[in-house]
Amino acid sequence: AQVMEEMWDKGTGLKEHPNVGWFKDAKFGLFIHWGLYSKLAGKWNGKNYYGSGEWIMNQAKIPAAEYAKVASTFNPVNFNADEWAQLASDAGIKYLVITAKHHEGFAMFDSKASDFNIVKATPYGKDPMKALATATAKKNIRFGFYYSQFVDWHEPNGGRNSWDFDESKKNYASYYSQKAIPQLKELLTNYGPLGIVWFDLPGGLTKEETQKLVDSLHALQPQSLFSSRVGQGLGDYKDFGDSEIPDAPVKGAWESIYTHNDSWGYIEHDLNFKSPAAIIQLLAKVASKGGNLMLNVGPDGNGRIPYHSVKYLRETGKWLKKNGEAIYGTTYGFIPQQPWGVTTAKPGKLFLHVFSRPGNGKLLVPGFSNAVKAVYALGNRQSVSWKKAGNDLELQLPAFAQDAPNTVFVVEYTGAQPGYDNKSA
């Protein structure tokens, strides 16, 4: 028990923002990577690139001036903000974060700070972010922007393009003041209330400068949550590494981000999509540690979300419609991962997410010291027989518990939630 207390004590190391409540309860977010790279679809000069579609400019070492020409062919006529918001809603998603500008430096929004944007530089000529802000608000989905604040391969003074520009001649301060900060201010001014500003890969700023940047942006929208990748130990919630879940439960507001196939940005030849079962189990696994899953999709250059992403997200949503009580608004489960699955919790309730039913149907919940009131299947409320042996709780599961991919059982208990400090968790 002492070991577990120590696990639970690990926080995110960030200062708690007063508005993290909605974020902690949300559990499921949709990440969208969409930019000029979506049009390239993982191909340049007849060669296929693998890994991450949004990195193709770097992988093929495309000169900025040549890459910029892609904009003149970017015309996502199939983009439909209401369809995207409807999909997110059907999938049970509570917040959506989209790339306003990725490392390529192209603004997918109307920007006065740089002409290298979707309204000015493409035949499309409209601002899809405006439409998406409106569409998500209608569906009660919190909306947020990803913004690559340091890395900008288009700008001679931006971070991390050394194939085209001389690193030693770069003036990061000028890049920040001319482009990154003005664009961030545009995003925080022109799109209504933002749930999130998702920064990525910090660089070129001291801690003081980062604090100043954060303060000046929070002044525009104090309620908006900034991701920890703003750098220097700042930010309002924690993002771990890409596709990383912490080993032990972590208190506070945090998120794991995952790709749906193997790439963030659209790659035509990447069909390695996670099945609905894999998504559902991943979501439960992240929730069992106390975090949110933000799952990414990569729409193509025409504005279409890949067929398998649409299909599998909708199937995930069907599971969530029935079992959402065991995900939304939960905290980490106070019983660690078991051979059969994971747990999540609410005051008075422990949810057992059974991924694989033990052959004899006997499900062991070790270290369960609270008094048990009732045990039942979440789906049909049918009660489940149980017995207590010391601090071990043993359930005799009904045969239907074989349902893939995650059958949830509820243990109602009395007493305080173990390992849970009701003030701060």
Structure tokens at 17: 């923002």
Question: Closer to ligand H79 at the Cβ: 201 or 271?
Answer: 201
* CB of residue 272 to ligand H79, shortest distance in Å: 14
Residue closer to ligand H79 by CB (options 60, 137) is: 60
Retrieve residue 66's tokens.
């040549």
Q: What is the pairing mode between strands 95-101 and 47-48?
A: unpaired
C-alpha span between 170 and 8 (Å, rounded):
44
Query: Which tokens is 277 given?
Result: 């079962």
User: Is 90 or 270 the residue whose CB approaches ligand H79 more closely?
Assistant: 270
Task: Spell out where 111-191 has E strands.
Answer: 142-147
Of 254 and 368, which CB lies nearer to ligand H79 in the complex structure?
A: 254
Q: In 10 A of CB 173, how many CB atoms?
A: 12
Q: Determine if residue 199 is left, alpha or beta; phi over 0 gives left, psi from -120 to 50 gives alpha, anything else beta.
A: beta
Q: DSSP per residue over 182-196, as a string? A: HHHHHHHHHSS--SE
Q: How far is the CB of 267 from ligand H79 (least distance, A)?
A: 11
Q: Is-contact 199 144, C-beta < 8 A?
A: no
Number of Cβ atoms within 10 Å of the Cβ of 384:
19
Contact 181, 216 (CB under 8 A): yes
**Least CB distance from residue 257 to ligand H79, whole Å?**
6
CB-CB neighbours of 203 under 10 Å = 12
What's the closest the beta carbon of residue 50 comes to ligand H79, in angstroms? Answer: 8
Closest CA to 87 of 263, 379, 309: 309
Our CB check for ligand H79 shows the closer of 83 and 262 to be 262
Closer of 90 and 300 to ligand H79 (Cβ): 300
Nearer to ligand H79, 89 or 261 (CB): 261
Comparison of 5 and 244: residue with beta carbon closer to ligand H79: 244
Strand pairing report for 349-354 and 407-413 = antiparallel
Contact assessment for residue 240 and residue 277, using Cβ atoms and an 8 Å cutoff: no
Query: Which CB sits closer to ligand H79, 88 or 97?
Result: 97
Query: Tokens for 349?
Result: 């309730």
Q: Which two tokens stand for residue 290?
A: 């106390």
Q: Which is nearer to ligand H79, 201 or 416 (CB)?
A: 201
The DSSP-derived string for 32-59 is E--SHHHHHTTEETTEE--S-GGGHHHH
- CA separation for the pair 89, 137 (Å, rounded): 11
C-beta of 24 vs 103, nearer to ligand H79:
103
Nearest to 36 by CA among 123, 157, 135: 123
Q: How far is the CB of 225 from ligand H79 (least distance, A)?
A: 16
β-pair partners for 96: 30, 143
| Alpha-carbon distance values, 324 to 92, 118, 124, 295, 353 (Å) | 8, 37, 39, 17, 12
- The residues that touch ligand H79, with contacts defined as CB under 6 A, are 51-52, 54-55, 59, 200-201, 242, 257, 264
Quote the crossing angle between the two packed helices 81-90 and 128-138, to the nearest 10°.
40
